[in-house]
Amino acid sequence: MPGFRGVVTFHATMRELETLLPFMKRHRRPLAWGLVLVCISNAFNAVGPRFLQHGIDALNRRAPFTEVRTAVLLLVAVAVAGGIARYGMRELLNSASRRVEYDVRNALYRYIQGMSAEFHDRYPTGDVMARTTNDLQAVRMVAGPAFMYLADTIIRAALVVPMMLHISGRLSAIALVPLIALPVVMTFIGGVIHRRSEAIQAQFSTMTTHAHENLSGVR
């Protein structure tokens, strides 16, 4: 049952993300400002088409050139301001995600240092090295880009969908119909990507273990 597996995977993912929250709370200020800039950039992007509409309407009714020029200048100003906000959003959230990765890496290192010799006998050094590289990069992607794009999508939908419905409910319904199938498609694709990613991670771990053993033997 793909739907049931998707729900189980979602809840398992949420439980795993709970372990990341304490590290993200340490950097809540840049994350919060990043979310503010997400809202600002989407607000500018939502207002831009209004100025474009105003400029086109002014051309159609042969309005004075000053009115058209004002609409164009406002459209350019909104686009520039939205671009600046989006740059700041990426800078803050991506920088915060790298600091989160740094904290998680240090915590993991301290944890490994405190483990017994039995742990190091059970898990090869190469496997541990693989997990402290690729897995922590995945953590950074969750704390930064994934968090950013999720917030960006939710806020953009909250701003754009009401405007679409205000302009034309029928056209909005036609445009939004494909989104009904999106959760099913994303669940299927996400499962495929997850399984392949785990297989690749296992191969990378094996390769790292062999490389470490060979280099240790040469030494």
pLDDT at 129 exceeding the cut of 60: yes
Mean pLDDT of 119-140: 77
Q: pLDDT value at position 14? A: 61
Tens digits of residue pLDDT in 66-88: 888 898 999 999 999 999 999 99
Q: What is the CATH number of the domain that holds 67?
A: 1.20.1560.10
In a domain, 17, yes or no: no
Task: Give the pair of three-digit tokens for residue 134.
Answer: 């690729």
In a domain, 9, yes or no: no
Domain with 175, as residue range(s), is 23-218
Task: Give the pair of three-digit tokens for residue 158.
Answer: 């909250």
Task: Give the pair of three-digit tokens for residue 62.
Answer: 């042969």
In a domain, 3, yes or no: no
In a domain, 38, yes or no: yes
In a domain, 109, yes or no: yes
Q: At what angle do helices 147-167 and 65-113 cross, to 10 degrees?
A: 150
Tens digits of residue pLDDT in 162-194: 888 888 888 888 888 888 888 888 888 878 887
| Least confident span in 41-50, 69-78, 156-165, 190-199 | 190-199
In a domain, 212, yes or no: yes
Q: pLDDT value at position 12? A: 55
pTM value? 0.74
Burial of residue 52 (number of CB atoms within 10 Å: 0-12, 13-18, 19+) = middle
In a domain, 195, yes or no: yes
Q: pLDDT value at position 64? A: 86
Cα–Cα–Cα angle for 112, 106, 22, rounded to 5 degrees: 105
Q: Is the dihedral of CA 102, 87, 161, 36 positive or negative?
A: positive
pLDDT at 8 exceeding the cut of 60: no
Number of domains in the chain: 1
In a domain, 11, yes or no: no
